[in-house]
Amino acid sequence: MNGWIRVIKQKRISRDVYFQEAKEDIARTNLRLLRISSVLMIVFLAVFISVTPLFFPTWRPTYPYRVFACAAVMVTAVIFIYSRSGKAVYESVRALCIFFYIAVLLGCICVDVLPDSSGSSTFFPLIIIVLPAVFIMPYSLIFSITGALEAFYLFMVFTDKVYIIALMDAYTSIVACCCTVAVALIVMDLRVEGWSGPVPV
């Protein structure tokens, strides 16, 4: 038990040092990831909206999809406008990461919940696993934002959906949240070790 406690303390210290001393590297990496992620988000939405009618001929993009697509373009524009400044200030880039993170998850909630009260969610449980591992942010930020949006998603699901569907969606998203914690812990540990070398045990 003492060995485990020592390892956990050492990893926390290494993480604190990493966020303190590698701010410039973190800002540059996050800004690059923001550019890539924002473009991929638009490409994904365009492909999804174009391809879905081939599988479901009666499907048409409803207003939540159109709002999400417009928001994605606006978020991407903000990211690229900031990138053109040639700066990568840690606090500013972190604010952009939070902005992107919230915008994507809110968009997923809209398209998963609003169009059809009898349909199961598709995007939110998947994105909530992947997104926290994309950007380099402290656990306090990752888990607080994820927890708040998960709570909002559950509220929306139980408010707008058929009860049995809401129950299945809630269960799926809670499982996804557990996976989020595991993925975020592993990815952060690898990033810290990759920057500072192996953490002594």
Instruction: Name which of 173, 86, 180 is nearest 129 in CA terms.
Output: 180
- In this structure, are residues 26 and 134 in contact, taking their beta carbons and an 8 Å threshold? no
- In this structure, are residues 127 and 104 in contact, taking their beta carbons and an 8 Å threshold? yes
Residue 24 lies in a domain: yes
What number of CA atoms fall less than 13 Å from residue 201's CA on the CB side? 3
Domain range enclosing 18: 11-196
The owner of tokens 């919230």 is 102
Residue 16 lies in a domain: yes
pTM of the model: 0.86
pLDDT value, residue 2: 64
DSSP classification of residue 97? H
- Summarised one tens digit per residue, pLDDT across range 67-97 is 888 899 999 999 999 988 877 788 999 999 9
User: Structurally, how many domains does the chain consist of?
Assistant: 1
- Summarised one tens digit per residue, pLDDT across range 18-77 is 888 888 889 999 999 999 999 999 999 889 888 888 888 887 888 888 888 889 999 999
Residue 89 lies in a domain: yes
Residue 5 lies in a domain: no
Residue 4 lies in a domain: no
Residue 94 lies in a domain: yes
Residue 111 lies in a domain: yes
Kindly tell me if the per-residue pLDDT of 199 is higher than 80. Answer: no
Residue 187 lies in a domain: yes
